[in-house]
Structure 1
Amino acid sequence: MTLATSKPVTFVGTADRTPAKAFYSETLGLTQLSEDDFAVVYDLDGTMMRLTDIAGHTPSPHTILGWVVDDIAATMAELHARGVEFQIYEGFGQREDGVWQPPGGGPQIAWFLDPDGNNLSLTQF
C-alpha cells in the first residue's frame, strides 16, 4: 500500500465561506492556492487543505487541525493581535493564557476556534 508515502489532504468544513476564507487567508495568513465552487484550497507547508462548503455544517467538539510551532507564546501573541481568542476549558487545568501542559511536563497546547466553531490548536514540543 502506498498511502504511507502519499501526500495527505485535509478538509475543513464551513457553513459560510466568506468569513471562513477571511479567517484562514487574512487572520491566519495561509497561502491560498485556488478556489472553485466547492472549496478554497490552501497550502499548509506542502499539505493541501480544502476549506469545503457544507450546508448545515456542525463543528466537531474536538480538534480538527493543528500546527506545531517553535514558540507558542509568540505565535499566540501574534494571533491574539489579529483578533484570535484562545479557549479555556473549565476543569482542564490550563494556564491563564489558555496553554495546557500535561501533568509532569510534555508539549504545550493552546486551542482556538475558526468562524464556524471548528477547533484548531497550536503545539510546542
Structure 2
Amino acid sequence: MLANSLAFSSFSVSDVAAARDFYQDTLGLAVTEQDGMLTLHLGGGGTVLVYPKDASHEPATFTVLNFPVPDIEVAVEALVASGVELEHYAGTPMETDTKGIFRQGGPLIAWFKDPSGNVLSVIQE
C-alpha cells in the first residue's frame, strides 16, 4: 500500500533559526525553509522535516538522525573542529572513549546533540 510513498522522518526543535544555523552551517547540510519549518536534504536524496515546538519542546531521548561515515575518526575530528561537543556516556553500557566514540561492540558510533537537545550520531559504515 505505501511501498511507493516517498516517506520522510521528522522531529521538533525549540528554535528553528538555531536549528537552521546548526544543520546548515555547522553540519554542512542543504537546508530549505518553508512555512516556519525546515527540510534537511540528506545525501542520497532523503529528507527530514524539522518543525518548531515552543516551550513544550522536549528533546528526543533516542537518536533521531544517524549519519553514516566512512571513517569515524575523521568525522569526529571534523565535528569537534566545528565546535560540536560529543556526548560521553561514562559508566553505562554505551560507554564512550575519551574522543566520544563507542567501541564496545557493533558499529563504531559517536553521539552529539543539536541546539534543541535532540540526539544525532555519526556511525561508521
What TM-score does the superposition give when structure 2 sets the normalisation length?
0.88
Measure how far apart 1:106 and its partner are: 2.7
**2:16 equivalent in structure 1:** 17
Classify the secondary structure of the residue corresponding to 2:109.
strand
Q: List runs of 5+ in structure 2 lacking aligned partners.
A: none
Partner deviation per Cα, 1:31-77 (whole Å, 9 max, x = no partner): 12x31223111211211111211122110121111111100010111
Match of 1:50 in 2: 49
> Shift in Å at residue 18 of structure 1?
1.3
Distance 1:66 1:106 in 2: 15
* Deviation >3 Å, runs of 4+: none
Matched, 1:80 2:80: yes
Q: Does 1:94 align with 2:96?
A: yes
Please list every run of 5 or more consecutive structure 1 residues that lacks an aligned counterpart in the other structure: none
1:40 aligns with 2:38: yes
Give per-residue Cα distances to partners, 1:10-42, cap 9 Å, x unaligned.
21211111111100010000012x312231112
SS at match of 1:111: strand
The aligned amino acid for 2:83 is: G
- The count of residues paired between Structure 1 and Structure 2 equals 121
